[in-house]
Amino acid sequence: VTQSRALRGGADKIEISKHHFILHTPMEGPWPDGMKVVVLANGCFWGSEKGLWRLPGGGVFSTAVGFAAGYTPNPSYNEACSGSTGSTGAVQVVYDPCKLSLVDLLRWFWESHDPTQGMGQGSDRGTQYRSGLYFFEEEQRRLMEASKQAYSKALRASGRGEGPITTELRAAAEFKNKPGELFYYAEEYHQQYLAKPGARPYCSAQPLQVSMPAFETWAPADLTHLAPMLPESFWLKHRPRPHSVVGAPNQPIKLD
């Protein structure tokens, strides 16, 4: 949809719980000093959020699902699913860079879906299921771009995927004027959905089971200090696999 044809949306933000259903941390800022924010979109946000809040080490402070990179302020779920907002379903991750590197989050992002599927993921089709990475600072942008190039080479070498990576990379600042924010929270029903009683065990993400190349092979020379903090043993045991996150325990993973 074009901006001129997008739904107008609403002035009132969607109300959500004050605290995360699993982590019991605040769902909205202001965030504690030192925390950083990134927004990741890789298809069905139910499973994406669960995979991210389960990352070990206490580095993920809070997660939330919502709608990102669109034209419509405060869209509802039904409005986003209509394809008339320009939004994609996304996860906002608040993380402590002293405990978890953005590189760890990016590895989970790339390995937990098929970033070559364009406007969709699995059986879920439409612009609201497109893959995207959204940054708030220059270091994040550079790591996202470098990781995208590295994973693209890994996919080509393995013969996996449907073609070139279609993931979009955009700055949060692009959305400051219209619609006003990069990310708008989805309804409370969707927050930490897969951890709640009666949840439908569903996630359309299509992990290709291709490992992210070692950081030292693709890291920008002046950003090597942002190396991953999760050990390779974690990835060997817990790497994303099709539908694995749906039936996984709700609590964060504990490292051996």
What CA–CA distance (Å, rounded) separates 65 from 48? 9
- What is the DSSP annotation of 168-206? EEEEGGGGTTTTS-SEEEPPGGGTTGGGSTT--------
Strand partners, 64: 92
- How confident is the model at residue 248, as a pLDDT? 95
- How confident is the model at residue 123, as a pLDDT? 84
- How confident is the model at residue 177, as a pLDDT? 86
Q: What's this model's pTM, rounded to 2 decimal places?
A: 0.96
CA-based radius of gyration for the chain: 17
Residues 196-210: what's their mean pLDDT? Answer: 93
Which residue is it, tokens 């406007």? Answer: 119
pLDDT at 213 over 90: yes
Residues 103-122: what's their mean pLDDT? Answer: 96
Work out the pLDDT band at 131, boundaries 50, 70, 90.
very high
The per-residue pLDDT of the chain, averaged, comes to 96
In contact, 95 and 60? CB cutoff 8 Å: yes
Catalytic center residues? 44
pLDDT at 122 over 90: no
Percentage of the residues of the chain whose pLDDT score is greater than 70: 100
pLDDT at 178 over 90: no
- How confident is the model at residue 44, as a pLDDT? 87
